[in-house]
Structure 1
Amino acid sequence: MARVVMQAVVSVDGYIARPDDSVGPLFDWYFNGDTEVTAGASGWTFHVSRRSGGYVQAFWDAVKVTVIGRHLFDTTNGWDGKPAAGDELVVVTHRPLPEQWLADHQDAPFHTASSVEAGIALAKDLAGDGLVCVTAGDLGGQAFSAGLVDEVAMDVAPVVLGEGVRFFGSHTGTVLLDDPDQVVHGDRVLHLHYTVKR
């Protein structure tokens, strides 16, 4: 059965982007090392520290399906039809994807769902026994609030943004996590992985 992990790079004060959706120095660690890592079907390559490389590549290799919201789809232009991680992607949206985008990306392994619950269920079906990655932010916060997230993975950059898009979106309430089962010190990043207490 697929596991669902909520993941993003995050600032020390809990933001995954600035108010204008730019990431500023949050992603600097993707380019500060000599270990090459490749992100899923997108084929994007980054050069990170050796310690980050082992952690990040194993994580990306485990992801089978990514779930994103419509805002991230629009912001990234659907990553030009190639999932940033995993083999397939589910977009949670109440609006059809743009006709021109669909025409330009007919072979894109993208699916849509009209609710967070339906999106996670579809992603789990597609992933089989693999890992489903739901992006942090409003969509991830909704999935987290609904009890649909099994694990939380954070790549904490030593940056204080002061404002912006929160890792857990507008989630409020208390949810306990187990102690981190992975703590990896990279260069200008700390990788943390938690299991959600049930």
Structure 2
Amino acid sequence: MSVETMTKTSSEVQQQGDRIIKTTTTEVITKSAMQPQQKMSPFAKFRQLDRQNSLPNPKTPTTPTTPGGSKVVGRPLFVFTDPNMANRALTAKDSLLLWCQTKTFGYENVNIENFSTSWSDGLAFCALIHHYLPDAFDFSKLTPKDRRHNFTLAFRVADEKAGIAPLLDVDDMVMYKKPDWKCVFCYVQSIYRRFRNED
């Protein structure tokens, strides 16, 4: 075989090798893009979104205002990038809120409109627990002023009589007039899961 033929053959082999590498790389990229992503639990997804949305964005002012200078009200706290997840989250939150409103309807000093300030005096927790365990305590003796007693009573009765773990801390709840809605939402979910089939 001549040197010229060997050079041609070597060049052809290299070109073929390049094509194989390119093809293989394309296949790997295509396959990895086509593989379904691992399923993430809703709580893990929520934590991921919470981390993403808590990072400062240099394009967004820290205190959003309208052109007149007043603060913008009603802007969502979190922005879901997946529209299906946004719909499911909105539906779940609204459904749970409606469930709470239904079960506490008629209880004095209880008006549940959200998962934060509506729960700040402990009466909403007491009303929700009392609805399912009316013999556990006398709701009519509770007052909005005795916040610590209300939280302690609701969390203790839920734990002892219904097996609902006390996910919230009484001291934390007493310290804040505006509790973290995510914490309240998680605890109310556990109450819902325990009692959802009872009426």
- Whether the TM-score (by the shorter chain) exceeds 0.5 is no
Q: Which TM-score applies when normalising by structure 2?
A: 0.24
Q: Which has the higher strand share?
A: 1
Relative contact order higher in (CA < 8 Å, ≥ 6 apart): 1
Between structure 1 and structure 2, the one with the greater Rg is 2
Q: Which has the higher helix share?
A: 2
